[in-house]
A and B are shown apart, each in its own frame.
Chain A
Amino acid sequence: MTQDYIFGFNTLYNFFFEIITNTINSTIVSWILPNFSFNPGWIAYILSALTISFLIFNAALMGAAVYTWFERRIMAKFQGRYGPNRWGPFGLLQPIADGIKSITKEDIIPTGADRVVFTIAPIVMMIPGLLVFAFIPGHINSMLGKINVGIAFVFGVTGMNTIAVIMAGWASRNKYAMFGAMRSAAMLITYEVPMALAIAGVILLSGSMSFNGIIEAQKIPFIVTQPIAFLVYMICATAEMSRAPFDMIEAESELGGGYHTEYSGMKFAILQISEFMAPIVQSALCVVLFLGGFNGPDFIPGILWISLKIVLVLFILLWTRSTWPRLRVDQIMELAWKYLLPLALLNILLIATEMTIFDITQSTSLWIMGIINWATILFILAFLSLFKNFNKKTVQQKY
C-alpha cells in the first residue's frame, strides 16, 4: 500500500489514518454526500501525514530546547558552577523561560540592514535542521521520509545552513557579522570535502545510500571497521556546526558573536534554536553512520537506543567544547586540506582494498578489517604526534 511505501511510522500512521477516515465517513460522507460514491482516502492520507510531520517537527524543536538546558547544565558541571537550576525540577523549565523572554523582547532591525534578507535568514537557517529529522530512523523502516538516497539529500540540505549564515551576516550591515559570514563560507568549502569523502567509505561498505540500508549493514558498528572515517567525520561535523575548537564563525572573544551580532528578540531565538539543533542533527547522523543507529540488545526499543547514543555523542562534543581553545582561521584550513583530506582518501583506499580481499558478509573478516584499520589510525596519530607543533613555520616577523 501507499502508506507503507512513504511512511515508516506504520502504527502511528494507521492509527491516525483510521481515526480520520472514520471521522470523515461518519460526518461529511454520510451527511452531505450520501448519494455519491466517494473514497476519503486521499484526504485522510494528507491529514495524517501533516499530523505526523507536526509531531516530529515539534519533537525536534522540543529536543533543541531541552538540549539548551542539557548543554548549560553539563558545561556548568565542567566549570564547577551550578547552571540553571531555579525553574522546575533541575531547572528543566529554563528553556520555556528563555522562550518567553525572547518573544517579549523588542525585535530590532538595524538601520540600513536589508530588511527582507535579515528576516528570512533565521527561517532559512531553521528549516534544514528540521528536514533532517524526517530521515533519522527510530526503528527499522521507521522514518518520515523514506528515500533511497537519504544520505545525499541530508548532506545537500545541511549545506544550506551556511547560506543562511551568509545571508544573516550580509543583511546585518555589520562588519563583525560580515567577518563571521565570510569565515563560514570558507569553512563550508573546506569541510564539506573531507566529510563527503569520509562518508564515501561508509557507502562503499554498506552498499547503500539509504539510512535503513546503512544501519542494516552495521552488524558490527562502522566505528569498529572504519575508525579513520569516524575520526574525520567527527572533526568535520564539529567544524560544520561551528563548535569549539572550530567556533571561529561566532568567536565571541574576537567577533563578539559573529553573524548574529545584530539579531535580537525572536529572530535571535530562532537562530539560537537552529544552532542548538545542529549538534543534535550531527550527532544523530554520526550515530546512524558509525554507531549502529537503533541497533542494540532488544530489551530496550530502538528509538531509545538511538536517543541514548545521541546523548552520548552530544556529551563528548560538550566535553571537547569546554576544554579546548579555538584554532585560527588558517590553521583550520590547514587541518582540513593537509590532514583530513588525505586521511579520508586513505580510508577509501583501505576499505576498497579490504573489500576486494575479504568476504565482507563474514563477521570475522569484518573484525580483521577493524583491527587493520585501527592499527593504521593509531600508527598515523603516533607518527603525527612526533611532529608536534604544526605551527612552526609561522615566524612571520619579529618586532
Chain B
Amino acid sequence: MPIKTEPTIINLGPQHPSTHGVFRLRVSFDGEKVINVEPVFGYLHRGTEKLAEERTFTQIVTLTDRLDYESSMTNNLAYVEAVELLANVSVPERAQYLRVLVSELQRIASHLIFTGFFLQELGVFGTLLMYCFRERENVLDLFEMLCGARITVSYMRPGGVTQDAPPEFWKNLDDLLNKLPQLLDDLENLITDNEIVLARTKNIGILSPQKAIDSSVTGPILRASGIEWDIRKANPYEAYDKMDFNIPTGSNGDCFDRYLVRIKEIRESINIIKQCIKSIPKKGPIKNSEVPFFLRPESGEVYSSIESPRGELGFYLVSDGGIAPYRCKIRSPSFINLTVLKPLLIGWKMSDLVVIFGSLAVNMGEVDR
C-alpha cells in the first residue's frame, strides 16, 4: 500500500543565513528534493527610481550608491555615463582612467565577497570568508583614500570624478597588486582542486547557453555558460578600448564555472589596473569644469549600460529639460539574473539550493531598488 505523503513547504527567508539580504523563497520539498520554488521579494524596496525624479542630476549619484551596496563605484559609473550621454558632456582623460581603475578595484572587491560567501554557503566555517574580507578591506582602504568613504563612495560626478588620487594611493595600490595574485593562488589551492568543493559544485545547477540568452542573463553567469559577452569589449566605454584583456568563459555553466569565471576575472582586473597605472596621464583635470551645478539636459531619452560585477547595469533616463530626470529606470543585473532561479533549482537537493542561489550572487539592494 503506498503511503500518503505531502510536500513540506518551507519559507527560506527573509531571515535566513544564506539569502543574501532579505530574499524569501517558498520552497516545496519532497524529502530533501526541491519540487517547487516561489521567489518573493520586495522587502528592501526603497523606491529609488521614484526618488530619482525628485533629485537633481548630481544628487542622484548618492542614490546609486545604495543600489548594489557591494559595488557602489560601478553603480556611480553606470549612472554618470547615462547622464553624460544625455547632456552631451565630455570627460577628461585622467578622469576616464581613474574611473576604469576604481571600477576594476570594485570588481575585485565584489568578486572577493562572492567567493567568501559562496564558500560559506558550501559549509566552510568562516575561514575563507575571513581571508577574502581581509583583502577586500585593502580595496576599501584605497577608496577611503580617494574619497573618504568606503562603501557609499559617491565618487563620480557627471563630467568627471570628485577628487584626484593622493600620492599614498598609488603606493598602496602597488602593494595590493603585488599581494593579490598570491592570495588568489592560495584561494585556488584551497578551493579549486578541493575534492569536496568539486563534488558540491561540478555539474550542479547547469544553465545551458541557449537558456542563458533566452532569459537575458548577463555577467559572469552568462560567461560561465560559455558565451563570450562583455560590454567592456562589445561596447567599450571610458578607457576600456585602450585596454588589453581577455574575457574568461566557462565551459559547463555549472556552479563551479560560475565560481571559476569570477576568480579569473579578478586576475584580469589586476591586469587592467596595471595597464591603467602605466598609461594614465600624469597630470590634467579630473573634472569637466564646464558642467554646471544644476545640469539641465535637453529633453530626450537615453539608455546606457556598463559591465558591473554582476552583469549589465543600465540606466534609462528621460529628461524634460528640467534639473531632475523625468523618469529614471534601472536595469539591474541581479533582478534579471534572478529570473532563471526557479527552473535552475527544481529537482535539486536542499543543500544544492543554497549553493545554486549563492552562485547567482544576487544583491537584494539591486533587486528591490
CA distance A327 to B352 in the complex (A): 10
Of the listed residues B194, B343, B349, the one surrounded by the most CB atoms of chain A closer than 10 A to its CB is B349
Among the stretches B55-63, B88-96, B114-122, B271-279, the one at the interface with A is B114-122
Q: Are A253 and B206 in contact (CB under 8 A)?
A: no
Of the listed residues A79, A247, A388, A397, the one surrounded by the most CB atoms of chain B closer than 10 A to its CB is A79
Q: Are B123 and A175 in contact (CB under 8 A)?
A: no
Question: Does residue A31 face the partner (Cβ distance < 8 Å to B)?
Answer: no
Q: Are B190 and A323 in contact (CB under 8 A)?
A: yes
Closest to A327 in B: B196
CA distance A247 to B123 in the complex (A): 8
CA distance A325 to B136 in the complex (A): 22
List chain B residues, Cβ under 8 A from A329: 32, 349-351
Q: Are A253 and B123 in contact (CB under 8 A)?
A: yes
Question: Does residue B208 face the partner (Cβ distance < 8 Å to A)?
Answer: yes
Q: Are A389 and B202 in contact (CB under 8 A)?
A: yes
A168 CB to closest chain B CB (Å) equals 18
CA distance A328 to B70 in the complex (A): 29
Q: Are A321 and B125 in contact (CB under 8 A)?
A: yes
B216 CB to closest chain A CB (Å) equals 15
Question: Does residue B251 face the partner (Cβ distance < 8 Å to A)?
Answer: no
Question: Does residue B204 face the partner (Cβ distance < 8 Å to A)?
Answer: yes
Q: Are A398 and B208 in contact (CB under 8 A)?
A: yes
Q: Are B354 and A254 in contact (CB under 8 A)?
A: yes
A321 CB to closest chain B CB (Å) equals 6
The size bracket of the interface on B is: 35 or more
Question: Does residue B179 face the partner (Cβ distance < 8 Å to A)?
Answer: no
Q: Contacts A244-B125, A329-B351 hold; do A399 and B207 have CB atoms under 8 A apart?
A: yes
Closest to A385 in B: B195
List chain B residues, Cβ under 8 A from A388: 195, 198
Closest to B199 in A: A391
Q: Are B130 and A79 in contact (CB under 8 A)?
A: yes
Closest to A255 in B: B350
Question: Does residue A298 face the partner (Cβ distance < 8 Å to B)?
Answer: no
List chain B residues, Cβ under 8 A from A316: none
Instruction: State which of A251, A325, A390 has its C-beta within 8 Å of the C-beta of B194.
Output: A325
Among the stretches B10-18, B148-156, B295-303, the one at the interface with A is B10-18
Instruction: State which of A80, A251, A321 has its C-beta within 8 Å of the C-beta of B351.
Output: A251
Q: Contacts A325-B122, A325-B200, A399-B207 hold; do A176 and B351 have CB atoms under 8 A apart?
A: no
List chain A residues, Cβ under 8 A from B343: 399
Of the listed residues B195, B197, B206, B343, the one surrounded by the most CB atoms of chain A closer than 10 A to its CB is B195
CA distance A399 to B340 in the complex (A): 9
Q: Are A80 and B134 in contact (CB under 8 A)?
A: yes
CA distance A330 to B195 in the complex (A): 15
Question: Does residue A248 face the partner (Cβ distance < 8 Å to B)?
Answer: yes
Question: Does residue A256 face the partner (Cβ distance < 8 Å to B)?
Answer: yes
Q: Are A325 and B196 in contact (CB under 8 A)?
A: yes
Question: Does residue A353 face the partner (Cβ distance < 8 Å to B)?
Answer: no
Q: Are A175 and B10 in contact (CB under 8 A)?
A: yes
Q: Are A391 and B198 in contact (CB under 8 A)?
A: yes
Q: Are A323 and B124 in contact (CB under 8 A)?
A: yes
A170 CB to closest chain B CB (Å) equals 14
Q: Contacts A251-B351, A321-B125, A329-B351 hold; do A389 and B199 have CB atoms under 8 A apart?
A: yes
Closest to A245 in B: B196
List chain B residues, Cβ under 8 A from A245: 123, 196
Question: Does residue A362 face the partner (Cβ distance < 8 Å to B)?
Answer: no
Question: Does residue A173 face the partner (Cβ distance < 8 Å to B)?
Answer: no
A199 CB to closest chain B CB (Å) equals 26
A284-342 contacts to B, CB under 8 A, are: 321-331
A342 CB to closest chain B CB (Å) equals 18
Question: Does residue A179 face the partner (Cβ distance < 8 Å to B)?
Answer: yes
Q: Contacts A244-B123, A245-B196, A253-B121 hold; do A394 and B350 have CB atoms under 8 A apart?
A: no
Mark each residue of chain B from 24 to 48: 1 if its CB lies under 8 Å from any CB of chain A, else 0.
0000000010000000000000000
Question: Does residue A155 face the partner (Cβ distance < 8 Å to B)?
Answer: no
Question: Does residue B21 face the partner (Cβ distance < 8 Å to A)?
Answer: no
Question: Does residue B211 face the partner (Cβ distance < 8 Å to A)?
Answer: yes
Question: Does residue A358 face the partner (Cβ distance < 8 Å to B)?
Answer: no
CA distance A395 to B206 in the complex (A): 9
List chain A residues, Cβ under 8 A from B353: 254
List chain B residues, Cβ under 8 A from A254: 18, 350-351, 353-354
List chain A residues, Cβ under 8 A from B127: 75, 78-79, 322-323
List chain B residues, Cβ under 8 A from A398: 206, 208
Question: Does residue A86 face the partner (Cβ distance < 8 Å to B)?
Answer: no
B25 CB to closest chain A CB (Å) equals 12
Q: What are 21 sample pairs from A and B whose C-beta atoms fall under 8 A apart?
A: A75-B125, A79-B127, A175-B10, A176-B10, A244-B124, A245-B123, A256-B17, A322-B125, A323-B190, A324-B123, A325-B122, A325-B197, A326-B200, A326-B351, A328-B351, A329-B349, A330-B32, A389-B198, A389-B199, A398-B208, A399-B206
Known A254-B350, A325-B194, A398-B206; 11 more pairs at CB < 8 Å: A175-B8, A175-B10, A251-B123, A322-B127, A326-B123, A326-B200, A327-B200, A389-B202, A391-B200, A395-B203, A398-B208
Residues of A within 8 A of B (CB): 75, 78-81, 175-176, 179, 244-245, 247-248, 251-254, 256, 321-331, 388-392, 394-399
Residues of B within 8 A of A (CB): 8, 10, 16-18, 32, 119-127, 130-131, 134, 190, 194-200, 202-204, 206-208, 211, 340, 343-344, 347-354
A-B interface, 10 closest residue pairs, ranked by CB to CB distance from nearest: A326-B123, A325-B122, A79-B130, A391-B199, A325-B123, A399-B343, A328-B351, A253-B18, A253-B121, A322-B127
